[in-house]
Amino acid sequence: MKKICSLLGILAFLALQLSAQKVNTKVVETIQSFPYQHSQEIDAALISMKTWEKSDWKTLYNMLDDDSLKLKATYALNAFVNKASLSADQKQAAKQNLGKGLKQVKSEYAKKFVQAQLNLLTDQSEVDQYLASLPKTDTRPPADPLANSHLNASQQLLLAQDLLEAKVNPLTVKQFLNRVSRIPGISSFMLASKYLNDPIVNKDAAIVIARLAISDETIQGPAVRESLEKTLPLIKGEDSVVLVKGVNKLLKKMPYDYGYNNLFNGKDLSGWKALVANPILRAKMGDSALKVAEAKENEKTKGDWMVKDGLLIFTGHGDNLATAKQYADFEMYVDWKITAQGDAGIYLRGTPQVQIWDTSRREVGAQVGSGGLYNNQKNQSKPLVVADNKIGSWNNFHIIMKGEKVTVYLNGILVTDNITLENYWDKKIPIFPKEQIELQAHGTYVAYRNIYLRELPSTDAVSISEDEKKQGFVSLFDGTNLDQWTGNTTGYIVKNGTVEVNPDAGGGGNLYTKEEYADFVYRFEFQLTPGANNGIGIRAPLEGDAAYVGMEIQVLDSEHPMYKDLHEYQYHGSVYGVIPAKRGYLLPTGDWNKEEISIQGNKIKVTLNGTVIVDGDIKEASMNGTIDHKEHPGLLRTSGHIGFLGHGDVVRFRNMRVKKSEEIKDKSEKRKR
């Protein structure tokens, strides 16, 4: 009898399972592509999940309770949560969904997993859950010092770093990293990046910085790229479905210019040098004399500035420390700390200074606070408010300099609002357009850390050189607009003074000059991203495939491993399908390459970074058929448009100028006379 009852129970269970699968085929099919990372399938699945009804979600949560079905359900739900975390509206909806799911699931695995997903979208962390599960001698969780509502983002970050450096246990580190993940900006990103080398919490740190970067496009640059590349192998399992894809996409399109650099590596004085004279005197010195003077000062001032425990410290004796590089417009973050009676500052473009001092020094007027432009005489010199932290505590400057104007935030509070910085060295002239940044030595101890800077692009129109004007060149792009271009003007955008292919808005199309050209010399600069593909159309009509109805000069990261099996006529600089180019003259990815395309009748020459890589005759090259064995009617055209031929990859162009053949002929005729 017992055997019969057991058998009936099993049959009933199977019947229910089959019925459930029949009813919820949509759910099963939707999550079928998980955990495999086929981008298009995953994207389609996530879009479908957004339209699910209550019964569909109930099925997914039931699958989490079933050991034979939970794998795909786990990956699918985590991918959905990661995607939802990037949008405020989706995040709130997902939180409500997970709350209902937490009440529904029954197995210990499902409860812990759903709770972990809910933690990713709320202020409650896994640490809180762990502490709540401990024996309840005191049911109250420990106070979270970062939860103090009156602290702004800058102050929270300063406190977080203090707490993180206080030899806390891994669970507390995870708690603080979870807090940091909700404070946007480069400082949060770089703070979390410091834990990528910690084997205990590096996976948590990787998820934090991936989310910060994906949700904030201002987080970019060499320092950011380095950290994000470290995250890729650390993000595993269900987190990888959305985040790895997002990081790869971000790295693909991230600009190489105007991003954040880490000016202090925490190990040595790389990128810094001793001070030599002032900007006016330095400008009068020749390069060789300046190098000799710098070497002498570097030797003389050894020990005045030192690196200890990851801090850049002035010992109280010696002169300013200067950046090896000069800067025009920039945005800068820097933490600083002084002792009692302290006095220091930050020189901008070699000029004093954003003031740092002990506010108790009323005898010198320090009661006004730090962050003012101390040496200004005509323009405002005092900060708007006192925002200093107490002596011995860390402070943070956020300094923005555009043209002559300076803005300073101290500990997240505006203290200098777009004020002109006067030229201390010569009051009759404006501030220098480009110069070094200096950390002032003023006889008292000061420590610095977390020095991050990004150069800001100029918003001024760019004109071609006088020499090229004399040669007959005219500009096709001044860095501010696409007025001389037509075609896919949404797939190409003006950004940071360049024309940038924008894959998010149909960057696979073509952009052409409004004017047509017959014989000409065309000069431009371009910057490739890894594996990028584009092209320069010449003598092309506005319709059709320009590589065939016109001509295409290949623009390609052809040294990338993905292109190891290319045909010779496909490498960068080739007249596509017709004349192959010499290889090996592209600069490393991210550098700006210079190229010139010259065409006179059937003669074409392509010069890349000073080397001729194509020098041929299109008529001769196609006399017995082209090397790609395809029809190229465009070879017979004598004029047409110049264009960019996008394939959906991020490529940047700038400094485009052209000289028409008529001008070349006119100049030669004048010489004959």
Rounded CA-CA distance 103/111 in Å is: 8
Q: What is the mean pLDDT of residues 564-591?
A: 94
Among the listed residues 317, 321, 293, 320, the one whose alpha carbon sits nearest the alpha carbon of residue 304: 317
pLDDT of residue 19: 45
How far does the chain reach from its first CA to its final CA, in angstroms? 119
Q: What is the mean pLDDT of residues 415-420?
A: 96
| Structure tokens belonging to residue 315 | 């010992």
On average, the pLDDT of the chain sits at 87
pLDDT of residue 40: 66
Q: What confidence category does residue 538 fall into, taking pLDDT thresholds of 50, 70 and 90?
A: very high
Span 304-355, pLDDT tens digits: 999 999 999 998 888 999 999 999 999 999 999 999 999 999 999 999 999 9
**3-state SS, residue 639:** coil
How many residues are present in the chain?
Answer: 673
Cα dihedral 136, 138, 140, 141 sign: negative
* The amino acid at 622: S
Q: Which helix (H) or strand (E) holds 147?
A: none
pLDDT of residue 253: 85
In the predicted model, is pLDDT for residue 140 greater than 60?
Answer: no
Q: What confidence category does residue 129 fall into, taking pLDDT thresholds of 50, 70 and 90?
A: very low
Least confident interval from 78-87, 246-255, 475-484: 78-87
Span 603-654, pLDDT tens digits: 999 999 999 999 999 999 999 999 999 999 999 999 999 999 988 899 999 9
In the predicted model, is pLDDT for residue 480 greater than 70?
Answer: yes
Q: What is the mean pLDDT of residues 411-433?
A: 95
Contact 57, 96 (CB under 8 A): no
pLDDT of residue 121: 72
Q: What is the mean pLDDT of residues 50-74?
A: 87
Q: In terms of DSSP H, where are the helices of 450-532? A: 466-471
- Give burial (CB, 10 Å; 0-12/13-18/19+) of 109: middle
Task: Tell how many helices (H) and how many strands (E) occur in the chain.
Answer: 20, 26
Least confident interval from 148-162, 306-320, 490-504, 544-558: 148-162
Span 9-50, pLDDT tens digits: 443 443 444 444 444 678 888 888 776 555 667 778 888 898
Cα dihedral 484, 659, 466, 286 sign: positive
CATH number attached to the domain at 272-455:
2.60.120.560
Q: What is the mean pLDDT of residues 286-290?
A: 91
What's the CATH architecture for 466-670? Sandwich (2.60)
In the predicted model, is pLDDT for residue 548 greater than 90?
Answer: yes
* The amino acid at 497: G
pLDDT of residue 146: 58
Higher pLDDT, 240 or 120: 240
pLDDT of residue 174: 84
Question: How are beta strands 485-487 and 592-600 bridged, if at all?
Answer: unpaired
| Structure tokens belonging to residue 348 | 């901008």
In the predicted model, is pLDDT for residue 232 greater than 50?
Answer: yes
Q: What is the mean pLDDT of residues 462-489?
A: 93
pLDDT of residue 20: 44
Rounded CA-CA distance 274/386 in Å is: 32
Q: What confidence category does residue 141 fall into, taking pLDDT thresholds of 50, 70 and 90?
A: very low
